[in-house]
Amino acid sequence: MTYPRLSISECTTYTASFDEDLAAYRAAGVEGIGLWEYKLLRGQDDRLREALRKSSLRATLCVPEVPSIVPDPFFREPQDPRSRREELCVAIRRLATFDPVAVMVLTGAPGDDAARTRHIVVDGLRAAAEVAAEVGVILGMEPLRQTSGSLVTTLPDTLELIDEIGAPNIRVIYDTWHFWDVPGVLEHLRAHANRLIGVQVNDWREPTRSWCDRVLPGDGVIDLPAIFGTLDGAGYSGWYDVEVFSDNGLFGNPYPDSLWNIEAAELARRAVDRFRAIWDRRQTAASRQ
């Protein structure tokens, strides 16, 4: 069986180190690693890049410490949009040296004045895209669920914002947890698969206990076979990236069944097994009729 290109996002093994992630992901059989900047220790970039090279893993969907121009409930500091813009641009230049598939950006929360916030975000992400172009990087904009704090919450809304920014090097990161229950989601994916740079994969626990209570593919209620089949049928051939948040107390909820309590190598192995099992069951439009 041939599978699509697969990486694991480092937040999935949140408490493991960069080096532990490299070893775990490589052993699990994936081709890539979604870097999170908070794991890249300052002053060690030469060593970290060499470790990445030796692992043969590709840096895929990489997350700056400050990925949005205005704050959202997760990335809260600094508050000042100008400071955030400066930090994002610095992070883009830094992450570019790891040769990523894309550097992730977010819009941030709309706040009390969505129109004013949108103007700030468009201006800031336009500047970020210019920096990314200078260093040869694609930006991947990830819209979030409305409850997670985002100016855009559907794929069409996201594309409209990207077109407003007007930068050719911004594409979309689609996250199954944020979009699975959006009306018309399969039609959106079918129509706009060519605008995606990456797909983040996880599953929705029912009932879910918080934003930080996601489960591995196949362990929740999302119809991932339909999503995978739609993307495959629409010609999407990019990266899939397993990204799971599962609070063990770091974000206020010490769930006793937190996946973050599992050793990194074992969790990575399970992630790959779950993804491939779902891929084997992907459904085309014809098979769903």
Is 201 among the domain residues? yes
Residue 1 is assigned to a structural domain of this protein: no
Q: Domain range spanning residue 169?
A: 6-288
Residue 239 has pLDDT above 70, yes or no: yes
Give the CATH number, domain containing residue 100: 3.20.20.150
Mean pLDDT for the stretch of residues 184-211: 97
Please give the single-letter amino acid code of residue 233: G
Q: 174 in a domain, yes or no? A: yes
Q: What pTM value is reported for the model?
A: 0.95
For residues 193 and 163, the answer to whether their CB atoms sit within 8 Å is: no
Mean pLDDT, range 116-140, rounded to an integer? 98
Q: Within a domain: residue 188?
A: yes
Per-residue pLDDT of 214-238, as tens digits, reads: 999 999 999 999 999 999 999 999 9
Residues 189-204: what's their mean pLDDT? 98
Q: Is residue 220 included in any domain, yes or no?
A: yes
From 3, 29, 33, 38, select the one nearest 21 (Cα to Cα).
Answer: 33
Q: What pLDDT band is residue 285 in, cutting at 50, 70 and 90?
A: low
pLDDT of residue 76: 86
DSSP character for 57? P
Q: Which of 131, 143, 202, 213 is nearest to 171 (CA)?
A: 143
Return the closest-CA partner of residue 246 out of 12, 1, 7, 2: 12
For residues 180-191, average pLDDT: 96
Q: How confident is the model at residue 286 (pLDDT cuts 50, 70, 90)?
A: very low
Give the count of domains, the chain.
1
Q: Is residue 71 part of a domain?
A: yes
- Adjacent-strand bridge partners of 139: 103, 170
CA–CA dist 257, 247 (Å, integer): 9
pLDDT digits (tens, 9 = 90+) for 26-77: 999 999 999 999 999 999 999 999 999 999 999 999 999 999 999 988 888 9
| Angle at alpha carbon of residue 236, lines to 230 and 239, rounded to 5° | 115
Report the alpha-carbon distance of residue 225 to residue 227 in Å, rounded: 6
